[in-house]
């Protein structure tokens, strides 16, 4: 198993990263708790060797990006910050997709200010806007990239057909996709295979099935042989399953962070992988 991935062909990241959604409250709205606790988790993640930090402008909204900057700025040279734009939040349950070029530009520039950077390493379109052409949405990101405000572009919650179309349009290189994917939900298998063919990073969200895999009986059985937890086995399965999968599990506690990151040391046998994969 290879522990690193070359994101966009030039950014070397540890495949097991950290996601910031759990630093915010229910519905990704407001802060989860004291800022000092979030700062401690972020700093510990980097101390443990995490180099890929995944966040979004609408986590909070704005809260998660501000916490990332408070904890890590000035950023270590090897740390890659990924954020997302294209969704407007008006409450804990309201998500409004907005892919208009003017909106994407304003969101990107706001993220630059909050993160305290001149260029965002990976800027991901959080959702495709069905009311705006894909060419216009990609074109807006291509302009921001040409201006030096974005280094690499990614797409979130798409289909294999969406990625194929984006690649055929060839408006801007696609460095990553981010879809729901885990041991129990492999509905994006076709997208994963397409990413493998093109060397595109796949950042699976809900890598632990929103917590369900921490209680999975098959994961639990394999975990006993490794003196591990079921959640660690679920993360290890992702790392073994495909070399382009770069899970960024999130948590708001130091203890859970340590547990998640220890999954990177678990080495699963071919028999264990087959046993785990058979339940999908």
166 occurs within a structural domain: yes
Residue 218 to residue 237: CA distance in whole angstroms:
12
Sequence-distant (6+) residues with CB within 8 A of 45 are 18, 53, 257, 261
> Catalytic site residues?
59
Domain that holds residue 108: 4-209+242-252
DSSP state of 212: G
CA–CA dist 23, 29 (Å, integer): 10
Q: Is residue 259 part of a domain?
A: no
The answer to the question of residue 72 being in a domain is yes
Contact (Cβ atoms closer than 8 angstroms) between residue 98 and residue 66: no
The answer to whether the peptide bond before residue 74 is cis (omega within 30 degrees of 0) is: yes
Give residues with Cβ within 8 angstroms of 185, minimum separation 6. Answer: 206, 209
Whether residue 78 is contained in a domain is answered as yes
Please give the pLDDT value at position 224.
97
DSSP letter string, 154-210: EEES--HHHHHHHHHHTSS-EEEEE-B-BTTB-TTHHHHHHHHHHT-EE--BSTTGG
What's the mean per-residue pLDDT of the chain? 97
Encode pLDDT of 36-50 as tens digits. Answer: 999 999 999 999 999
* CA distance linking residue 265 with residue 38, whole number of Å: 25
Distance CA 164, CA 65 (A): 30
| Structure token digits, residue 116 | 């305290």
The parts of the chain modelled with pLDDT lower than 50 are none
Report if residue 225 sits inside a domain.
no
CATH number at residue 178: 3.20.20.100
Give the global pTM.
Answer: 0.97
Based on C-alpha coordinates, what's the Rg of the chain? Answer: 18
| CA 212 – CA 216 distance, rounded (Å) | 7
Kindly tell me the number of DSSP H helices and DSSP E strands found in the chain. Answer: 10, 11
Instruction: Specify whether the backbone of 103 is left (phi greater than 0), alpha (psi in -120 to 50) or beta.
Output: alpha
Span 162-205, pLDDT tens digits? 999 999 999 999 999 999 999 999 999 999 999 999 999 999 99
Give CA torsion, residues 105, 70, 65, 153, to 10 deg.
60
Contact indicator for 11, 80 with CB cutoff of 8 Å: yes
Q: How far is Cα 82 from Cα 6, in angstroms, rounded to an integer?
A: 14
- Considering the domain boundaries, does residue 109 fall inside one? yes
CA pair distance 226, 230, nearest whole angstrom? 10
Identify the three-state secondary structure at position 272: helix
> What pLDDT is stored for residue 280 in this prediction?
60
Q: Is residue 53 included in any domain, yes or no?
A: yes
Coil, helix or strand at residue 45: helix
When divided into structural domains, the chain yields a total of 1
- Is residue 262, in this structure, part of any structural domain at all? no
């Amino acid at each position: 198993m290879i522990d690193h991935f070359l994101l966009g062909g030039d950014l070397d990241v540890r495949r097991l990263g950290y996601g910031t959604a759990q630093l915010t409250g229910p519905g990704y709205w407001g802060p989860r708790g004291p800022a000092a606790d979030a700062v401690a988790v972020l700093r510990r993640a980097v101390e443990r060797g995490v180099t890929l930090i995944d966040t979004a402008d609408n986590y909070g909204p704005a809260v998660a990006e501000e916490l990332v900057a408070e904890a890590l700025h000035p950023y270590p040279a090897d740390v890659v910050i990924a954020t997302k734009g294209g969704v407007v939040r008006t409450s804990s349950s309201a998500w409004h997709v907005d892919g208009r070029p003017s909106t994407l530009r304003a969101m990107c520039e706001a993220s630059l200010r909050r993160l305290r950077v001149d260029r965002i390493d990976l800027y991901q379109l959080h959702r495709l806007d069905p009311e705006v052409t894909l060419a216009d949405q990609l074109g807006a990101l291509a302009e921001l990239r040409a201006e030096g405000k974005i280094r690499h572009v990614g797409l979130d919650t798409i289909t294999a057909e969406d990625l194929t179309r984006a690649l055929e349009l060839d408006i801007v290189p696609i460095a990553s996709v981010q879809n729901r994917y885990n041991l129990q939900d492999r509905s994006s298998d076709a997208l994963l295979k397409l990413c493998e063919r093109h060397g595109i990073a796949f950042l699976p969200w809900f890598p632990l099935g929103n917590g369900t895999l921490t209680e999975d009986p098959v994961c639990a059985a394999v975990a006993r042989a490794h003196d591990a937890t079921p959640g660690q086995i679920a993360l290890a399965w992702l790392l073994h399953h495909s070399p382009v999968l770069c899970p960024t599990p999130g948590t708001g506690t130091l203890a859970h962070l340590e547990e998640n990151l220890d999954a990177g040391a678990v080495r699963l046998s071919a028999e264990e992988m087959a046993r785990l994969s058979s339940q999908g």
